[in-house]
Amino acid sequence: MARLLTGKPVVEALNADTRARIHALAERGVAPKLVIVRCGEAPSDLAYERGAKARAEAVGVFAEVRALPEDVTAEALIGLLQEINADPAVHGALMLRPLPRHLRCPGTFGTVSRRSAIP
């Protein structure tokens, strides 16, 4: 007999496991923090940002949004990413893409630390 496979039980199990891990970290005084970096106000980026923030907070991760204007300079974006990399309170960074055309260069993408990059 065929069995319908759905993602909901998998997501619920993963979320329960993640919540338990976050709780264990909290007992050791660690408060996981995710920083979401967005350049501009594209509706699709805003929707993705809301979802990512809600999913993080649902499992106990504090999510902070760092929104930059669409015309931000590469230097300003790289400076923000370096600041995020240096912050020991940040455990993950998510940079929403695609970036505005003038920011699409290897130096920008390579700035996010592997320690905190969320694939």
Ordered by where they begin, the domains of the chain are: 30-109 (3.40.50.10860)
Task: Using pLDDT thresholds of 50, 70 and 90, give the confidence band for residue 69.
Answer: very high
| pTM (two decimals) | 0.85
Task: Using pLDDT thresholds of 50, 70 and 90, give the confidence band for residue 57.
Answer: very high
Lowest mean pLDDT among 29-38, 58-67, 71-80, 97-106: 97-106
Residue in the structure block whose two tokens are 């940079």: 95
Question: Do residues 45 and 94 lie in contact, with contact meaning Cβ atoms separated by under 8 Å?
Answer: no
SS3 labels along 21-48: HHHHHHHCCCCCEEEEEEECCCHHHHHH
